Amino acid sequence: MGASARDPHKGLTRRAVLASVARAAGGALLAPLLARAQQDGPPITRPIPSTGEALPVIGLGSWITFNVGRDARGRARCADVMRAFFQSGGRMIDSSPMYGSSQEVIGHAMAQLPSAREVLFSADKVWTGRGGAAQIEESRRRWGVTRFDLLQVHNLVNWEEHLPLLLSMKAAQRLRYVGITTSEGRRHVEIEQLLRTQSLDFVQITYNVVDREVESRILPLAADRGIGVIVNRPFRGGSLVDDLERHPLPPWAGEVGCANWPQFLLKFIVSHPAVTCAIPATSRVEHLRENMGAALGLLPDERMRRRMVQYVAQL
């Protein structure tokens, strides 16, 4: 990891200061959104290893759930989810040009939530064979942001071309963080190689209580290299929750504040010391609130984590 990844930028500092001032003052601008978060208590945060900036451990994904096209009702539902997300103290929203209309839908919702701009941590991806700069500009326009907080090379597609572009954008302060992504255990050998050799702030991988391959090499390597970890597919696209909801929660789940299976699954993920945040996706406010509940209260310790794995394995 190069030194530049850890150096706070001027723009970054100003933004952080502005956000802090607004939060500290309970500013009128953010008050409606923060009121709910203050009511429930602040969500658990983790520092981004490269800068120390605190991020809530639960973010919001947009794969499938936010791809609602031009449907007005669908867009309104997504805006409600985003409103509830910010009310619960959430910050990171993740999308990709691969996700159909999701970027536009996020931009549409953000236009209705101007007070959320200061807290939003915008994470998107570049996903194209050629023309990465043009795609990033189009994505930025769809989101309606002045710049992205984080851009990632989606599934390592043409990373040889895109990573230098993202790093140059970061050096020019047109981007705050750079990352790479994969999902469902694909291309882990290459991911490891890039974690060792590139100056990255984040890596996004799949990790959950049943898909734990990354525990052996990638998570320790990311921790060792000071790279933040974003976890996708925490519910295996929903199927894991569907499967587990046929069984009772273990009686000891309440010891770490798990009131339901989504919280059980999310708390397991974000309690790994190397994980910065998980990004469950949903199009329903009630599910969003369940998910955000995983960022409150206690997190499982190592002994409890082993117990969680064993319990799910025997179901």
Partner 1 sequence: MDEWWTYRPSDFLLFSRDTYVQLFEQYHASVWPAHLVLLAAWIAVAWLLRRAPPLGGRAITALLAVQWAWVGWAFHESHFTSINPMAGYFAAAFYAQAALLAVIGAGWGRLTVVVDRSARASAALAVLLTAIVGVPLAGMLAGRSWTQIEIAGMTPDATAIGTLGVLLLLRGRMRPTLLVIPAVWCGLAGVMHWTMASRPEAVVVLLAVALSGFALLAGRRLSVQQA
Closest distance of CB 154 from partner 1, Å: 13
Please say which residue, 115 or 183, places its beta carbon nearer to partner 1: 183
Distance CA 218, CA 204 (A): 10
Pure H helices in 172-279:
188-197, 218-225, 239-244, 261-270
Residue with smaller CB distance to partner 1, 50 or 65: 65
Can you read off the two tokens belonging to residue 33?
């959104």
Looking at residue 279, the DSSP 8-state letter turns out to be: -
Q: How many helices (H) and strands (E) does the chain have?
A: 12, 9
60 Cβ contact partners less than 8 Å away, ≥ 6 residues apart:
81, 82, 85, 90, 92, 93, 94, 279, 280, 281, 282, 288
Choice between 75 and 267, CB closer to partner 1: 75
The candidate with the shortest Cα–Cα distance to 11, out of 193, 254, 174, is: 174
Question: Which residue stretches of the chain are H helix?
Answer: 10-24, 31-40, 72-87, 102-112, 132-143, 159-171, 188-197, 218-225, 239-244, 261-270, 285-293, 302-313
Q: How far is the CB of 99 from partner 1 (least distance, A)?
A: 6
Using the minimum distance from each CB to partner 1, give the nearer residue, 15 or 187: 187
Give me the least distance between CB of 83 and partner 1, in Å please. Answer: 20
Supply the minimum distance, in Å, between the C-beta of residue 107 and partner 1.
14
Q: What is the rounded distance in angstroms from the CA atom of residue 129 to the CA atom of residue 114?
A: 34
CB of 20 to partner 1, least distance (A): 38
Number of other residues whose CB lies within 10 A of the CB of residue 42:
14
Q: Closest distance between partner 1 and the C-beta of residue 111, in Å?
A: 18
Separation CA 10–CA 136 (nearest Å): 22
Nearer to partner 1, 186 or 212 (CB): 186
Residues with Cβ within 8 Å of residue 142, at least 6 apart in sequence? 103, 104, 106, 107
Q: Which is nearer to partner 1, 36 or 187 (CB)?
A: 187
Q: How far is the CB of 287 from partner 1 (least distance, A)?
A: 13
Interface residues with partner 1 (CB under 8 A) are: 64-65, 67-71, 73-74, 98-101, 156, 184-187, 237, 283
Which CB sits closer to partner 1, 88 or 101?
Answer: 101
- Closest to partner 1 by CB, 56 or 97: 97
**Least distance between partner 1 and beta carbon 63 (Å):** 8
Nearer to partner 1 among residue 108 and residue 170 (C-beta): 108
Q: How far apart are the first and last CA of the chain?
A: 41
Q: Quick one: which of 34, 117, 113, 125 has its CA closest to 81?
A: 113
277's tokens:
């945040």
Q: CB of residue 292 vs partner 1: minimum separation in angstroms? A: 21
